Amino acid sequence: MPPLQITGSANANLLGLPWEIPLEHWPTEHIAALPRGISRHVVRFVKLDGRVIAVKETNPSIAHREFTLLKEIQHLGAPSVTPLAVVTGRVSPEGEVLEAALVTEHLQFSLPYRALFSQALREETVTRFLDALAVLLVRLHLIGFYWGDVSLSNALFRRDATEFAAYVVDAETGDIHPELTVGQRDYDLELARTNIVGELFDLEAQGRLDEALDPIDLADRLVARYEELWKALTKSATFTSNIPLEVANRVRELNDMGFDVGELDMRKTDDGNALVIRPKIVDAGHHARRLMRLTGLDVQENQARRLLNDLDEYKAFQANPEDDEGYVAHEWLLQVFEPAVRAVPREFRKKLEPAQVFHELLEHRWYLAQGAGHDVPMAVATASYVKHILPARPDEQSVLGVSLAEMTAELPALTAEIEARGNVDEAFVGDNTHGWGSIGEPEPETKEVTRRSTVVPPPARPKIGDREV
Amino acid sequence: MGTFVFDEQCQRGHHSCTLHHGSSGTYLPVKGPSLMATVTFDKATRLYPGGDRPAVDSLDLDIADGEFLVLVGPSGCGKSTSLRMLAGLEDINGGKIWIGDRDVTNVQPKDRDIAMVFQSYALYPHMTVADNMGFALKIAKVDKSEIRKRVEEAGKILDLTQYLDRKPKALSGGQRQRVAMGRAIVRNPKVFCMDEPLSNLDAKLRVQTRTQIAALQRRLGTTTVYVTHDQVEALTMGDRICVLKDGILQQVGTPRDMYDSPANVFVAGFIGSPAMNLRTFQVGDGHAKVGTVDVTLSREATAALAAEGAKDVVLGFRPESLEPASPNSPSAIPLEVDMIEELGSDAFVFGRVPVSHGGSGIDPVTSADSEIVARIDPRDVPKKGDVVWFSIREGNQHVFSTKTGKRLITTPVTTSASPA
């Protein structure tokens, strides 16, 4: 019998988790209450060193395979959850062999689609996150990842300015190829369509889908959006004159869509009179990369776009036109971005990512300016946002308030073990049913906004032996 | 069309079904002239971009209407690639693939009228079992009453009739898996493609489920291509088995053919558990020798070896083909016991020819470890370190060429463990 083995993570604290107990029966002290999607395996969110990790039970070969695939997806630059470790050799004190476990980092501020749908959503919102899934699928296909089971359940969604960004969370059916065939893309898309229709029908059966929405139309929209994006990113164009300008235009067009052109394929037509241009390698995250370069902020694409707009505005109106772009960006970060984000009271900080907060601040400022008929200073907008919008905002807090039990209900894995355990009906009992972790209640309307210090405390230093580093 | 059809008048052999092009681009069976669901790989080749050797090399394979064919082989042999070529997920760089009389080489997956069956599906908790099975037909704009009819038929076959209007919650694990199958069945595909569908089940459920899938396939009569790396699964499920290695077809035949008449050393070693013993011997005078071991060869083997002018031979003998022999008797092989495996009804002894009798390490031709496995009477088990003697039962020698690896005799070798 091989001993317990943890492969992948350098985190020794993983050893402290009760691997000798079936995941389903882990004591609540380890369990973090977070919404989950439908899964064919037992999946639970677990607290570790003040972080949250996701643990999925499955057989060792699948766990190792999925671990490697997720690593590769990340390495190739597509959005996915971060794999931490594979745990094998689990044995109960009675000597019963337990399933292997795949450990991934929980994606902060992310929501499974069931959480997003726990209240009837407007059509725009539904289409936005189907769009996010289409973008994800295109990005995966560009790096050669065939998913094999595209569905809303197998992705996680994060707010990204006015849009959503989608991440791969379940890759066990996937494969990485040097390049996908048309058949693979076509089939992945067909699976996406079927699965999404199924998931939306299920929401409909649950009364969670606006009656005006047709699941089949929505799924068709995803397919159309995918095709459109794929075509835009990979199409060849033929030019006979003004080649440099046409190439620059093509690159700008792709930049505007959020993609950088890594390699461009140019070849002459057979008659030698024209040039065919086709993007060969495109990388998503054009704006995110530019913002990262300028400010060090690591945010999602649409958030980056929004922040860059504000930065550009700052550069135009407030900065010395002589100054270097990098210097202006630094100034903007210190004088605009950080003060605004720090003005959010601590108890609200877990609601939204800082970049998302800033995006909403900008929105709010725009509305205030519209109402007032003149520009509103950022400090005023921030105070108003924190007082009026953030507490009342219909965000994750209220989404999660509905019925966590309902939302996190999942069908357990289709395995004999589960059947043998005999509690298929209430797989989620004792799990995730008691609220959304440490998020506080919204503050009462009357409470004054208190501004916190703008001084950031230094991060806790790691200790080596008895001395601080 | 040989697939399962739900119209009762539509019976195998004289179907009245054809396909109409569904609005979604899927082919849906409707009544009409018959179509056979044979599958033909015609020199089908897949070369990955940048690869120096095809992943699947000129595969020629005819799969009969209604047949359950298992593609089996070690990792990287091309079995999954072959299945994905049939499903339309891999480009075909040479040759063709036919489903019935239709060349599907360049047809998109969703238009091939095949169903990939997954190892597990998510079942939707708020939908009834019937809706879980039939919802994909709604996408294809199939008429409501037609959907219900097909779901009921599938429910009958899957023994789920009483659950159709209940939620998946009410079902056991096994029943849920059948619902997942039902989802594929109601589409009436011409071919089921299954790629290691049991790989994430535990051993016990795997055995149960493989029996169920095989039985279900026989009831449906739908042509099925099934991929596994597990030769036991292949032997127990397939009407025929196709063994691949390095992208090249090694042998195709019934489980019995594969077990009793393996076409070459690779198939001989791959099919059967514990594996066949394969050892290289020097040939002389109707005998095969290594060290002091001297085995008399059959007349057929001697003739074949003489025709080839062979100086050595690979002899194969299954664990159950060895019987106890007196020490130093003619043709007897001594084994020094390394390990005993007791399985209740059977016991196996794992051992080596002692060095004093000419035993050695790795076999130069088969690159197998020189360990020999023998099935023994579980009531009479030797100890580790003992030397026990065996001889190969009359007519139980498999004879292979050391040059080509090919089988040199035509007579099948039937043993007590041969598949029925």
**Contact residues on chain B for A97, CB-CB shorter than 8 A:** none
C-alpha closest to that of A151 among B313, B247, B8, B120:
B120
Check if A219 contacts B (Cβ < 8 Å).
yes
Closest CA to A102 of A88, A121, A118, A123: A88
**Residue B274: both structure tokens together:** 């514990």
C-alpha gyration radius of chain B: 25
Residue B85, min C-alpha distance to chain A (Å): 9
Q: Which helix (H) or strand (E) holds A464?
A: strand A463-464
Neighbouring CB atoms inside 10 A of B341's CB total: 12
Find chain B residues with C-beta within 8 A of A64's C-beta.
Answer: none
Tokens of B17: 């079904």
Tokens 């093509």 map to which residue? A250
Across the interface, whether the CB atoms of A151 and B122 are under 8 A apart is answered yes
Q: How far apart are alpha carbons B84 and B91 in whole angstroms? A: 9
Nearest to A201 among B88, B127, B172 (CB): B127
Does residue A275 belong to the interface with chain B, where contact is any CB pair within 8 Å? Answer: no
Q: Is B75 in contact with B98 (CB distance < 8 Å)?
A: no
**Could you identify the residue written with the tokens 């995730």?**
A432
Q: How far is CA B257 from CA B66, B263, B293, in A?
A: 20, 9, 30
Q: Which of the 8 DSSP states describes residue A254?
A: H
Q: Which of A181, A414, A418, A428 to mutate to test the interface with B (most CBs of B within 10 A)?
A: A414
User: Residue A118 has which token pair?
Assistant: 């726990």
**Mean pLDDT in residue range A42-48:** 85
- What are the start and end residues of each CATH 3.30.200 domain in chain A? 5-108
Cβ of A417 within 8 Å of Cβ of B202? The answer is yes
Q: Which of A187, A197, A409 sits opposite B88 (nearest CB)?
A: A187
Cβ-based contacts of B169 with chain A (< 8 Å)? 411, 424-425
Model pLDDT, residue A208: 80
Distance CA B109, CA B140 (A): 15
Query: What is the enclosing helix (H) or strand (E) of A303?
Result: helix A301-317
List the single residue in B87, B90, B135 with the smallest CB-CB distance to A197: B135
| Residues on chain B touching A206 (C-beta within 8 angstroms) | 126
* pLDDT < 70: residue spans in chain B: 1-35, 118-121
B131 contact residues in A (CB cutoff 8 A)? 201, 205
Q: Is A151 in Cβ contact with B204 (below 8 Å)?
A: no
Q: Can you give the pLDDT at residue B2?
A: 36
For residue A339, say if its preceding peptide bond is cis, omega within 30 degrees of 0: no
pLDDT at A80 over 80: yes
Residue whose pair of structure tokens reads 């095969």 in the numeric block: B288
Q: Helix, strand or coil for residue A89?
A: coil
Shortest CB distance from A183 goes to which of B91, B136, B169? B91
- Quick check: A166 and A135 in contact, CB under 8 A? yes
Please indicate whether, in this complex, the C-beta atoms of B89 and A146 are within 8 angstroms of each other: yes
Q: Quick check: A427 and A24 in contact, CB under 8 A?
A: yes
Residue A186 near chain B (CB below 8 Å): yes
pLDDT greater at residue A280 or residue A133: A133
Read off the pLDDT band of A314 (50, 70, 90): confident
Give A 287-346 residues with CB within 8 A of chain B. Answer: none
Q: CA nearest A204: which of A219, A215, A191, A188?
A: A215
- Contacts of range B135-138, beta carbons closer than 8 Å, 24 or more positions apart: B135/A197, B135/A198, B135/A201, B136/A194, B136/A197, B136/A198, B136/B183, B136/B186, B136/B187, B137/B186, B137/B187, B138/A197, B138/A201, B138/A216
pLDDT at position B120, please? 59
How large is the average pLDDT for residues A273-302? 80
> Rounded to whole angstroms, what are the CA distances from B268 to B78, B276, B346, B349?
19, 6, 22, 20
**Going edge to edge, which strands form the sheet with B39-46?**
B56-63, B39-46, B94-99, B102-103
**Lowest-confidence range among A175-179, A388-392, B60-64, B342-346?**
A388-392
DSSP A322: T
Best B89, B111, B204 member to test A by mutation, with max A CBs in 10 Å, is: B89
Which residue of B120, B124, B136 is in closest CB contact with A199? B124
Considering the domain A5-108 in this protein, what is its CATH number? 3.30.200
Reduce the DSSP state of residue B9 to 3 states and report it.
coil
- Closest-approach residue (CA) in chain B for A419: B173
Instruction: State the smallest CA–CA distance between residue B193 and chain A in angstroms.
Output: 14
Q: Are B192 and B184 in contact (CB under 8 A)?
A: yes
* pLDDT tens column, A24-40: 889 888 887 665 555 66
Q: Which helix (H) or strand (E) holds A355?
A: helix A354-372
Q: Which of residues 392-451 of A touch B (CB under 8 A)?
A: 409-411, 413-419, 424-425
pLDDT, tens digit, for every residue of A406-437?
A: 333 333 332 222 333 333 333 333 233 222 22
- Identity at A226, one-letter amino acid code: Y
pLDDT tens for each residue of B188-228? 999 999 988 887 777 777 888 888 889 889 988 999 999 99
Tokens of B301: 């083997």
Higher-pLDDT residue of B207 and A277 is B207
Query: Which tokens belong to A95?
Result: 């000597």
| A–B interface: beta-carbon pairs under 8 A | 117
What ipTM was assigned to the predicted interfaces of this complex? 0.78
Residue A360 has pLDDT above 80, yes or no: yes
Interface of B to A at Cβ within 8 Å reads 48-50, 87-91, 108-110, 116, 118, 120-127, 131-132, 135-136, 138-139, 168-169, 172-174, 176-177, 180, 199-202, 204-205, 208
> Regarding the domain with residue range A111-234, which homologous superfamily does it belong to in the CATH classification?
Transferase(Phosphotransferase) domain 1 (1.10.510.10)
pLDDT score, position B398: 95
Say if residues B100 and B66 touch (Cβ distance below 8 Å).
no
Distance CA A95, CA B328 (A): 46
Taken as a whole, chain B contains a residue count of 420
Residue A269 tokens read as 């037509």
CA atoms within 13 A on the CB side of B204: 7
Mean pLDDT of chain A: 77
CA atoms within 13 A on the CB side of A314: 23
Q: How far is B204 from chain A (nearest CA, A)?
A: 8
Up-side HSE of residue B366: CA atoms within 13 Å toward CB? 29
Determine the residue among B86, B106, B110 to mutate to test chain A binding: the one whose Cβ has the most chain A Cβ atoms within 10 Å.
Answer: B110
Least confident of A238-247, A248-257, A416-425: A416-425
- Min CA distance, A274 vs chain B (Å)? 28
Residue B33: the pLDDT is 36
Other beta carbons less than 10 A from residue B389's beta carbon:
16
Sheet holding A163-168, edge to edge: A110-111, A155-160, A163-168
In whole angstroms, what is the distance from residue B374 CA to residue B403 CA? Answer: 27
Distance from CA of A432 to the nearest CA of B (A): 18
Secondary structure (DSSP) of A91-123: B-TT-PBPPEEEEEE--TTEE-HHHHTTSPPPH
CA of B207: which chain A residue's CA is closest?
A: A416
B/e letters for A158-197, b = 16+ CB within 10 Å, e = fewer, are bbbbebbbbbbbbbbbbbbbeebbebbbbbbbbbbbbbbb
- Cβ of A183 within 8 Å of Cβ of B88? The answer is yes
Residue A450 has pLDDT above 50, yes or no: no
Q: Which two tokens stand for residue B154?
A: 């599938």
DSSP line for B205-231: HHHHHHHHHHHHHHHHT-EEEEEES-H
R_g over Cα of chain A:
24
Structure tokens of A141? 């296909």
Q: Among all residues of chain A, which has the CA nearest to that of B171?
A: A424
Q: Does A227 touch chain B (CB under 8 A)?
A: no
pLDDT computed for residue A128 by the predictor? 82
**Contact: B136, A194; criterion CB under 8 Å:** yes
Residues of chain A with CATH 1.10.510.10: 111-234
The tens digit of pLDDT for each residue in A191-220 reads 999 999 999 999 888 888 888 889 999 999
Q: Are B258 and B241 in contact (CB under 8 A)?
A: yes
Of A199, A203, A416, the CB nearest to B204: A416
